[in-house]
Structure 1
Amino acid sequence: MREAKMIFDTDHALERRQMRRKLSIWRIVAILSLILLVAVAGYSVVANSPDLKRNSPHIAKLTIDGVILGEQRKLDLIRKLEQSDAVKGVILSVNSPGGSTSGGEAMYEALSKLAKKKPLVTSMDGIATSAGYMVSLPAERIFARRSTITGSIGVIFQYTDVTKLMNTVGVEMRAIKSTPLKAEPNPFSKRNPEAEAMIQRMIDDSYQWFVDLVANRRPFDRETTLKLADGRVVTGGQAVELQLVDELGGPETAKDWLIKQHDLSADLKVIEWKPAPLRDDLPFGLASKFLSKWVPAPLFDLIDTRKQVGKLDGLVSVWQAQKSEQ
């Protein structure tokens, strides 16, 4: 009996030892698999890193879309393009109705500096009006689709008059000011001709500056520019006839022209340069990155657009289609 028990204990001990060996082997396999997975993921991240791709000679693509605000992160990106030895040329893709006049000015100045260092061409997409047209001007050549909407050269300032509404609800806004023009125009007070004249002078000054930009960059005199700068919008086809745009075509046409004109290698790849998405600036950036894998991109784009429109203030160079009255 005792002998049988000893045999059982020995067999049990051997089985447990074998199980431990198997578990140890599986642990090693699991650890090695995890290391391999991390290594592959790390290689994938590094291999697809924008910074790594930007180190080899290429043609950079810079996109300006939506409302133009002269955001610092985009201005910084343009400065990096200017300083990069790997960038042999730049295709500026514009799809914007415009934005703040000061934002367009900041972008225009940054792109003008870039154009002195790198060959720069503009490819207009669906719309490039007002400040969107302004930022296209520093390019050596401007391309547009036949159906592109462009033009709308001008400046606008808008404010709301809610005095009738306040009278209806019985509310009165009172203000004590140092001078009559302080905080004018005011939506809560009656129309002030002197304030409107002040705003008109500001608009005229910015408008004349915008006209000068166009006259200096396009192949016609200032008198012709003034005729075209009446706020009109035109198609890409019309813009070519009016010489507001040089040629019909898209990004590929712009690339071919850039390569031929500057004797660049036809093997150069086009690599898009873009700043970090706005969602990376949100609190808990890592969490927002994780959510972006599951939340549809259009939702984030809608949030970004809402933020941009909320920041639009002051003198504006933007085109908006007006609803017709029934």
Structure 2
Amino acid sequence: MSLPHDYLIDRRRLRRKLSLWRILAIGGATAAALALFARYGDGALGPAAKLSPHIARLSVSGIITGDKETLDLVKSIGEDAKASAVLLAIDSPGGTTTGAERLHDELRRLAAKKPVVAVVGTLAASGGYIAAIAADEIVAHGNSLVGSIGVLFQFPNVGKLLDNVGVQMETVKSSPLKAAPNGFEPTSEEARAAIAALVADSYDWFKGLVKERRKLDDSELAKVTDGRVFTARQGLPLKLVDLIGGEREAIEWLETEKGVAKRLPVVDWKKKNAIERFGLVDSAAGVAAALGLDALAQALQRVGTVAERGLLDGVVAIWQAPTPD
């Protein structure tokens, strides 16, 4: 017995409608899952990790510029009720003085809301140390480098090179100190004195910050503010760090001294934007590493680092490792 033609048509229409709703339901569920992952999914323990009490790990690495993404991330941690405490993982040579100041101020606002402990990796120097002293406690490995308390203002002078190739820069300016130094001519004593005053002012601010946060007297401050870096072992009696160790010791300190619940998971909080200022270079380096081209990956990483440092303007608080002659 054959089924009526109209009945078969209705069945086909019903199946099409059901298929459409299934597609829409799957699409909606996928979109919701992606939204949850974008909001909560950058933790090492999966998308749901931030939905329960945890210790937030905030990494400060590379050159510090006080970028909006990092500052917004710090604010987000402070506003999240599930983040019980913060592990500030620092591995940075510093950056711009103003960028370090912005980051320090935002970290201090965060520390007013929940306990923050800094854990130094290889290096927390200059602006990196400015970030570290925003924490309630500084923990560092014995061979970690800390300090480099000082600022500098660097500029190239290519005047002799231009003379050799027969090029002369002509300048008309409103006053002698406008656009000084310009790198195309010898720096006048007046311009050098003006720059030195800028450096001295920022240096005094940096020293005052260290004195206040590390509770140093004048004689103790003088021992650590000559611009050098110290190992954490050297820095411990100088009050530059509080404890030798790593994350384990930092978490124990949070539990013992700040009453943070024991055995909370540690969840990474990262910037929402995966591609940042030099993200294309970093991405290319990652692809090269995945393909086994380690030499190319390392070269791309060096290009990104050099390019980023080259964009720093004004007074900087950054440690530069000595290079062989």
TM-score by length of 2: 0.80
2:287 is matched with which residue? Answer: 295
1:118 to 114, 118, 140: 114
Matched, 1:197 2:193: yes
Shift of 1:274: 1.0
Secondary structure, in 3 states, of the residue corresponding to 2:112?
helix
> Measured at CA, do residues 310 and 323 of structure 1 come closer, stay the same or move farther in structure 2, by a change above 3 Å?
closer
Q: What is the CA distance between 1:251 and its match in structure 2?
A: 1.3
- Asked if 1:309 corresponds to 2:309, the answer is yes
Secondary structure of 1:295's aligned partner: helix
- Whether the 8 Å CA contact 1:278–1:304 is kept in 2: the answer is no
Matches within 5 A, 1:103-252: 103-252=99-248
Give the corresponding residue for 2:3.
none
Paired residues of 1:90 and 1:119 also in contact (CA < 8 A): yes
Cα displacement (A) at 1:307:
5.5
1:319 and 2:311 aligned = no
Deviations 1:229-263 (A, max 9, x none): 00011111111121100011111211111012122
Deviation track 1:22-62 (CA, whole Å, cap 9, x = no partner) reads xxxxx9xx999999997996787577555253232111111
Match of 2:91 in 1: 95
State the superposition RMSD in angstroms.
3.6
Change in CA separation of 1:108 and 1:281 when aligned onto 2, cut-off 3 Å: closer
C-alpha deviation, 1:180, in angstroms:
0.4
User: Quick one: structure 1 residues 182 and 32, their matched pair in 2 at CA, closer, same or farther if it must change by over 3 Å?
Assistant: closer
CA separation of 1:176 and 1:313: change in aligned 2, threshold 3 A = same
User: Per-residue displacement from partner, 1:60-114 (whole Å, max 9, x unpaired)?
Assistant: 1110000000001110111111111111111100000000000000000000111
Number of the residue aligned with 1:270: 266
Total equivalences in the alignment: 304
Within 2, Cα distance between the matches of 1:306 and 1:220? 35
Listed as ranges, the gaps of 5+ residues in structure 2 are 1-15, 41-47, 290-296
Given that 1:104 and 1:131 are in contact with CA atoms closer than 8 Å, whether structure 2 keeps it comes out as yes
What is the distance in 1 between the residues matched to 2:157 and 2:276?
A: 38
Distance in 2 (CA, whole Å) between partners of 1:77 and 1:71 is: 10
**Any conservation in 2 of the 1:211–1:226 contact (CA below 8 Å)?**
no
> 1:281 and 1:167 mapped to 2: Cα distance?
36
Q: 1:54 to 1:302 in 2, by over 3 A?
A: farther
- Residue number in structure 1 paired with 2:293: none
Q: TM-score, normalised by structure 1?
A: 0.80
Contact preservation (8 Å) 2:38, 2:272? no
1:75 pairs with 2:71: yes
**What secondary structure is seen at the aligned counterpart in 1 of 2:57?**
strand
Judge conservation of contact 1:69–1:308 (CA < 8 Å) in 2. Answer: no
Cα distance 1:303–1:85, how it changes in 2: closer, same or farther (>3 A)? farther
Which protein has the larger Cα radius of gyration, Structure 1 or Structure 2? 1
Change (3 A) 1:147 1:34: farther
